[in-house]
Amino acid sequence: MSTVVFFHAHPDDEAIFTGGTIALLADAGVRVTVVIATSGEQGLHHGAATSLAEHRADETRRACAALGVGHVEFLGYEDSGLAAPGEPMRAEAFALADVDEAANRLATILRDVGAGALVYYDEGGIYGHADHLAVHRVGRRAAELAAVPTVYEATVDREYLHFVETHLVDLAVLSMHEAVPTGVPTVFVTTTIDVTPVIERKRAAIAAHASQIPADSSVLALDDATFAGVYGYEWYVRTGPPGALDTFAM
């Protein structure tokens, strides 16, 4: 059986955007590897007693354990943060990393685990964060280098979001310094997955990232029905033949 690799920008992205899919795959016995590009050291510090990078790595391991996945890899690039307009980005930031160098590192993992499918972000990075855009560039190149047959670009259904309460993606967009488009139109989505059967585990995985999403946050304060309405679906744009995620597609 081949492995599905999920490539994300920061600790907590794996839970927010793909946590339900990961749990469904793990429950079905599909091997899953989660790869995190940056250490997330530019994030929030709620309750972080150790260095934030170490703390967020531990949170990611706990989140993945809640989802049924034990294999997590960290590439260790520097979080690019959210630079103010006109402010230069740090030279070590993942957004400025050499694409081929980073892609070769990811491709090595893909080969080592026998990846049959790779998940990374859509061309717009879901909401335009510089590290998310870099994940798209690096993921696409790594899939070419490792000859991964099926690629799923994680996204959100832009039109669906008009019908639900405040979404973490919307909060992320508000933190940007300019308006950016979110996700893709419904017509571009190839694979929609109903993750409500594992919604409590997705919620637990999100809650594991308490340094960024504390227990009293508006997200975790949502009632069960509203939380399921907002986070109960996950969306992808597939390239290549149907893969493991299509097993759960609506």
- The DSSP string of the chain is -PEEEEEESSTTHHHHHHHHHHHHHHHTT-EEEEEEEE--TTS--TT--S-HHHHHHHHHHHHHHHHT--EEEEEEEBP---PPTTPPPPTTBGGGS-HHHHHHHHHHHHHHHTEEEEEEE-TTTTT--HHHHHHHHHHHHHHHHTT-SEEEEEE-BTTGGGGSS--HHHHHHHHSSS----SB-GGG--EEEE-GGGHHHHHHHHHT-TTTS-TTSTTTTS-HHHHHHHHSEEEEEEESS--GGGGGB-
- For the domain made up of 3-241, the CATH class stated in words is alpha beta
Q: Where are the domains of the chain?
A: 3-241
Query: pLDDT digit of tens for each residue in the chain (250 aa)?
Result: 689 999 999 999 999 999 999 999 999 999 999 999 999 888 777 766 678 899 999 999 999 999 999 899 999 999 988 766 667 788 889 999 999 999 999 999 999 999 999 999 999 999 989 999 999 999 999 999 999 999 999 999 999 987 776 677 777 777 666 678 889 999 999 999 999 999 999 999 999 999 999 999 989 999 999 999 999 999 999 999 999 999 999 9
